[in-house]
Every structure is written in C-alpha cells, then in structure tokens.
Amino acid sequence: MTAPAMELRLVEDVIAAGGQLSLPDDGVHRICYVVHGEISSGELRIRDDQALGVCRSAELTAAACGATVWRYELAPEAVPTVTLAPRDGITREKLHQRLAWPVAGGILMRADSVSFPPGGCAYLHTHQGPGIRCLIDGGIRIDAMGHSASYGPGAAWFESGPDPVFAQAAGDRASRFIRVMVLPAALLGRSSIAYVNAADREKPKSQVYKGFVDQVIDA
C-alpha cells in the first residue's frame, strides 16, 4: 500500500476568552505552543512559552485572558486543517509544506526554541529531518540553497533538513524562533545538527536551545 502524502503545517489560533478548540482523533500529530495567554486541556494548564503535544483528540480551552497559539501539525495532505468556530476566535494559516516521506522508519516530533544574542549566528549546518520555524523575537536572515531571506516576528519558514543553512541574527537585539522538526526516532534526546565545515565544529556557538516536546510517534 502506498503511504499517504504528508505535510507539515503551522497555523495560528487566536482563541477568545473561554473559547474552545476541538481537535479530533484524525491521524494528525500536533504540537501547540502558547505565544501568549493560557490554555487548558483537562487538568493541564499551558501558559506563555510552553507547549503541549497532542497525538489524539483534545479539547483546548482558553483562560479568561484568551490565548494565541501556534499549532504545528504533521498531517496527511488529505486531512483538512481544523479551525476555530467564529464564536471561539480565528485560525490563520501561516505555512504548509509537503514532505519527502517517510523521513525514517520511526519518527519523533521535536519542539524547541533557538535563541541568539545580538549578532549571533548558526554556522553552515544541516539537520536530519524537515521542520518549520517561526520567529518570535528579533530578526534573522536565513541563507539556504543559494537564496537569502530575512524574517521578523511572526514570520515562518521551512527547512528541509539536508540542505545546508546559515542563520544570521539581527545585530541590534536578541532573536529567538520556535521550531518543530520531524526527525528519526533514534534522535530522541539527542541533537540533530551537523556542521558542514570541519573548522566550525569546535568554534564556540552563540545559539541557546530550550526544549518543549520530544515525542516518538506512530506514523
């Protein structure tokens, strides 16, 4: 049987106070990152700069302050994106990208953030799987495949993984992006980065990582 075409998506849910987002058990693996505000799922409460992995159905409810959530999804292309009912808020698509599939025999979804001091950079590097990044603070330039693009807060971009990337953060302020990657399950708890140039491997690195979710999934 041919495997279904898969894609990685990022949508933004702006959930009104007390609003609910109903996520069905539809074969989509999700990571929900709270940009601002607070949501609850059962007894679990997730606030600013925290994330929740959702592999089955879930009801997410915003607190009295409301919430803005970046929802990353690994989904069969044929499965539509769930959106908020108008009374509960608004869902905006930020980015989606079809994936070369399968990534590996067993996979994990990893959510983390990458922070840079003013003028920091990530030397030319690759990863072992694709991912979507979204800038939350500062500014960054991404050089990949012969092209350069600059991003400000709220802008998202896709990296394939094996294509080398150089990242240059803004020189006048700290920068940080939120990232979700699809990686081989063997990398559970391990870094996925590999530096292209041998001279860069031993250099001090300016980027700092914060992990949110590292979850092996069935796909």
Domain of 142, CATH number, reads 2.60.120.10
- Other CB atoms within a 10 A radius of the CB of residue 177 amount to 25
Q: Does residue 89 belong to any structural domain of this protein?
A: yes
Same domain, 69 and 148: no
Q: What range does the domain containing 48 cover?
A: 6-98
Query: Tens digit of pLDDT for each residue in 194-208?
Result: 999 999 999 999 999
Per DSSP bridges, beta strands 131-137 and 175-184 are antiparallel
Query: Tens digit of pLDDT for each residue in 87-114?
Result: 999 999 999 999 999 998 899 999 999 9
Same domain, 88 and 128: no
Q: Looking at the 3D structure of the chain, how many domains does it have?
A: 2
Same domain, 84 and 168: no
Domain boundary among the residues 98, 120, 142 is at 98
Does the pLDDT at position 185 exceed 70? yes
Same domain, 208 and 177: yes
Same domain, 210 and 112: yes
Q: What is the CA radius of gyration of the chain?
A: 17
> Mean pLDDT across the chain, nearest whole number?
96
The pLDDT of 148-153, averaged and rounded, is: 98
- Closest by Cα among 103, 95, 69, 77 to 10: 95
Q: How far apart are CA 63 and CA 44, in angstroms?
A: 12
Same domain, 80 and 139: no
* CB within 8 Å of 163: residues ≥ 6 apart: 126, 144, 145
Give the pLDDT score at 4: 80
- DSSP states of the chain as a string? -PPPPEEEEEEEEEEPTT-EEEE--SS-EEEEEEEEEEEEETTEEEETT-EEEESS-EEEEEEEEEEEEEEEEEEETTSPPP---GGGEEEEEEEEEE--S-S-SSEEEEEEEEEE-TT-EEEEEE-SS-EEEEEEES-EEEEETTEEEEE-TT-EEEE-SSS-EEEEE-SSS-EEEEEEEEEEGGGTTS---EESSGGGTTS----EEEEEEEEEE--
Does the pLDDT at position 3 exceed 80? no
Give the pLDDT score at 219: 62
Q: Does residue 115 belong to any structural domain of this protein?
A: yes
Q: Does residue 125 belong to any structural domain of this protein?
A: yes
Band (pLDDT 50/70/90 cuts) for residue 132 is: very high
Out of 1-10, 76-85, 184-193, which region has the weakest mean confidence (pLDDT)?
1-10
Band (pLDDT 50/70/90 cuts) for residue 156 is: very high
Give the pLDDT score at 55: 87
Does the pLDDT at position 218 exceed 90? no
Does the pLDDT at position 1 exceed 60? no
Using the Cα atoms of residue 72, residue 153, residue 114 and residue 150 in order, give the sign of their dihedral.
positive
Domain boundary among the residues 50, 81, 98 is at 98
Same domain, 195 and 140: yes
Same domain, 82 and 129: no
The pLDDT of 5-34, averaged and rounded, is: 97
